[in-house]
Amino acid sequence: MSRTRYLDLDDRSEDARELMRQRPREAKQFMEMYELSWIYHENALEGMVLTHAELRQAFEPTGVMDSSMVHVFKELRNQRDAIDFIKSEAKAKAVKYNLTLVKKLYEILYKDLPHRMPPVYRKDMPLHRTYFHDIVQPQLILPGLEQLFDFMASEEFRKMHAVKQATFSHHRFMELFPFSDLSGKVGRMMMNLILLRAGYMPVIMHSMERQKYYEGLRLPATQFGHVVMDMMDNSLDNAFKYFIPGYDETARRQAASE
């Protein structure tokens, strides 16, 4: 991954932070919309596509609810709780990336759901699932996680650029794919925790780009990093469109002049 690309992301992220510092009320409104979009796309990525009305109703109950949606809405609220958890962790003086954190995220996402399963590592090699990249054999999950977290605690990892930390660790976590369910959601939450701690906006894996994300997981970690950075750029574009009238036209003119 090129240093130039990292620097460009750093510069654009600082520009977005400055806009939000200058306009706190609009920043709050934007982040509320952004997090709602995050929840929508997280679920769409896993195959649960919701309408805007359903998404809104999950967080603003009117008192009238289709009984068939009760558990769906609970799942969405759990997703919001997981986001709140990593936002809180991102402000902590230190974060330990370990099995405790993985299980905590898993338990938040599964809280009070009827099909809830304990955080037990998978014991099979599922044939029909959303993801199609190669994953390790079940007996390699625990030693693989321990090795990953040992590396994430190392000086070598700390010296990496934060985007590289996030993409490398997520790529490896998804190769380990520890749980039969929720591995993707847990892995993306951990990736965004790293990004939030470094001052970046959380990256949304857009459902319309799901194939790009899935195929990226089949590539080496360095190439997968470009997939994530493309989506980080997209998130920043959305922020600039919100805060800067005519941003799309300005960006097109700049691209044409280069």
Q: List the CATH number of the domain containing 221.
A: 1.10.3290.10
Give the residue numbers spanning the domain of 32: 3-257
Is-contact 76 58, C-beta < 8 A? Answer: yes
Number of Cβ atoms within 10 Å of the Cβ of 43: 19
The whole-model pTM stands at 0.91
CA distance 188 to 227: 14
Determine the pLDDT at residue 252. 45
Instruction: Tell me which residue of 194, 176, 258, 178 sits closest to 232, measured CA to CA.
Output: 194
Instruction: Tell me which residue of 46, 62, 213, 88 sits closest to 54, measured CA to CA.
Output: 62
Q: What is the mean pLDDT of the chain?
A: 90
**Confidence label for 52 from pLDDT (cuts 50, 70 and 90):** confident
CA distance 59 to 55: 7
Determine the pLDDT at residue 258. 47
The domain tally of the chain equals 1
**Confidence label for 255 from pLDDT (cuts 50, 70 and 90):** very low
Half-sphere exposure of residue 75, counting CA atoms within 13 Å on the CB side?
21
pLDDT in tens, 195-206: 999 999 999 999
